[in-house]
Amino acid sequence: MYWEKIWQLRFFRAVTITIFYFMLFLGTAQAQEKEISAETEAQSEKSSSSEYTWHYAAVSVTLVSALMSYNAAKSYNDLSAKNSTLATQYANSSSSSEQASYKSEYDSNASKMKSYKSSMQTWDILTLLGLGWEAYLLMSDESGSSAVNSGSIQFPFIPRLAYQTYPYGTKTVLRWNMSF
């Protein structure tokens, strides 16, 4: 039980940090685009927000499902604490009517905990799918790019320095050689 709570907190922290970095990446990219588009507004006819619509959708799915998973985990942990209190009260109780009352409430909480656990696992899967979707969108950038240091040997975990050309200018990025 204790290790499940720690795992849930670590998972939520990892998801939050990952989402923060995705949001930071998108915010930085948009800030750079706005600076460049302010200078060359006449050249750029395409709106910058439409380029990131799928990114916004993926991050939104990830955020909502992570928060829903967190809420389900919190409810599960609250019921778990209540059940441990009920178990102590059951052990200290002397009358059979009180014990029956504690046992029925304990069983009711246990069934609710099952549903919260199932819900939490479903939301965790949706969170991971959202993260995977965002990672896919980041790695499958359709914009034109030319690699500066593209040699004959390509390692998947070493990025290449690349220039991406847009209607409003050129942007330097790191390109990873991973494909799915």
pLDDT tens digits, 3-41: 566 556 666 676 666 766 666 666 555 555 555 555 555
- Distance (Å, whole) CA 53 – CA 60: 10
Look at residues 180, 149, 147 and name the one whose alpha carbon lies nearest to residue 164. 147
Sheet holding 160-166, edge to edge: 145-147, 160-166, 169-175
**Domain boundaries along the sequence of the chain:** 2-36+51-140, 143-180
- Asked if pLDDT for residue 92 goes beyond 50, the answer is yes
Contact 145, 163 (CB under 8 A): yes
Measure Cα distances from 85 to 80, 105, 114 in Å. Answer: 9, 11, 18
- Asked if pLDDT for residue 156 goes beyond 80, the answer is no
- DSSP assignment of 81-102 equals HHHHHHHHHHHH--SHHHHHHH
pLDDT digits (tens, 9 = 90+) for 118-151: 999 999 999 999 998 888 888 876 655 444 444 4
pLDDT value of position 134: 87
pLDDT value of position 110: 94
pLDDT value of position 63: 93
- Distance (Å, whole) CA 99 – CA 24: 54
